[in-house]
Amino acid sequence: MNPSRAHLLQSIAVAVTVIALWEGICRAFAVSPIVLPAPSSIVVRLYALVTSGMIWPHLWATLVEVLSGFVLGCVAGLIIGAMISLIPAFERLVYPYLVALQTLPKVAIAPLFIIWFGYGLTSKIVITALVCFFPVLVSVIAGFHSTDKDQLDMMKAFGATKLQTLMRLRIPSALVLIFAGLEIAAVLAVIGAIVGEFVGAQVGLGYLVVTLNFSMDVSGVFAVLIILSAIGLVMHGLMRYAARKYIFWIRRSDTPVMT
């Protein structure tokens, strides 16, 4: 059997086992749905949210925030990371302040963005971009600094320009670490959007979670959390797919070895 298919079947088996145990415990011990709803009731509530149309405006708003913030944060991280790696003076002047900005808890500064950019989507996009920015920044810096010195000397010896060295050596060498940062940012993008919606929003899945929580609809809360997890998994899967396409020379552990 294909190793990747075997791993998928194992993951499905673990998920089915956990769900079955969860359902059995809730039924056997008559656990209150306010404390821990059974998986069957969560599925029913999720179906109701989807078919009633209640979920769609909130899902659309969160997707816009996640995707826009992810793209904005990643582009900023790629550009500024490249500048820090290639311009030593820029690293000395700017990088310490970026680190200081990253140390600030996003939950603490989110209310400021709500005040500055309003309760609409813009403030959530900015918060999401800020959360995605630093992992990409660090991965770009680490990737550019990991370029082999002997290869750099060889490029200089053959008369390559700085642009040629950047495009044909530095960027390809850094792609592995850059995509690792993009995978992290893809997951953090969902967290950033939800943090912004928790602080202040009029629409979005985070806003819906708060609303359902106030009405003690715990099954609805779990249903929305499942949707958020699905968004994160899809984002992460897309980044891994892109990495396999653009870093085709890196052998994955699931690649069969010919003997």
* DSSP, residue by residue, 217-258: -HHHHHHHHHHHHHHHHHHHHHHHHHHHHH-TTSPPTTSPPP
Task: Let me know whether 24 and 111 are in one domain.
Answer: no
Whether 251 is covered by a domain: the verdict is: no
CATH number at residue 168: 1.10.3720.10
Task: Let me know whether 83 and 13 are in one domain.
Answer: no
Least confident window among 44-58, 72-86, 242-256: 242-256
Torsion of CA 23, 27, 31, 33, to 10 degrees: 70
248: pLDDT confidence band, cut at 50, 70 and 90?
A: low
The C-alpha atoms of residue 92 and residue 52 are separated, in whole angstroms, by: 55
Residue predicted with more confidence, 159 or 134:
134
Non-local CB neighbours of 155 within 8 Å, separated by 6+ positions: 164, 165, 168, 169
Whether 65 is covered by a domain: the verdict is: yes
pLDDT at site 128: 93
Whether 49 is covered by a domain: the verdict is: yes
Task: Let me know whether 105 and 211 are in one domain.
Answer: yes
Whether 256 is covered by a domain: the verdict is: no
Task: Let me know whether 185 and 90 are in one domain.
Answer: yes
- The string of pLDDT tens digits covering residues 74-114 is 999 999 998 988 888 888 888 888 888 888 888 888 888 88
pLDDT at site 115: 87
Non-local CB neighbours of 62 within 8 Å, separated by 6+ positions: 193, 194, 197, 204, 205, 206, 228, 231
Task: Let me know whether 57 and 16 are in one domain.
Answer: no
Residue 11 has pLDDT above 90, yes or no: no
The C-alpha atoms of residue 20 and residue 25 are separated, in whole angstroms, by: 9
pLDDT at site 226: 93
CA torsion sign, 194 to 67 to 90 to 154?
A: positive
Task: Let me know whether 140 and 231 are in one domain.
Answer: yes
As for how many domains the chain has, the answer is 2
Whether 258 is covered by a domain: the verdict is: no
Whether 201 is covered by a domain: the verdict is: yes
Task: Let me know whether 184 and 212 are in one domain.
Answer: yes
Task: Let me know whether 65 and 178 are in one domain.
Answer: yes
Task: Let me know whether 51 and 26 are in one domain.
Answer: no
Range of the domain at 11: 1-31
15: pLDDT confidence band, cut at 50, 70 and 90?
A: confident
Task: Let me know whether 182 and 89 are in one domain.
Answer: yes
The C-alpha atoms of residue 104 and residue 56 are separated, in whole angstroms, by: 33
Whether 255 is covered by a domain: the verdict is: no
Whether 252 is covered by a domain: the verdict is: no
Residue 156 has pLDDT above 50, yes or no: yes
Orientation angle between helical segments 88-103 and 55-86, nearest 10 degrees: 150
- Identify the burial level of 251 via C-beta atoms within 10 angstroms of its C-beta, where 0-12 means exposed, 13-18 middle and 19 or more buried: exposed
Task: Let me know whether 24 and 118 are in one domain.
Answer: no
Task: Let me know whether 4 and 93 are in one domain.
Answer: no
Three-state DSSP state, 33 = coil
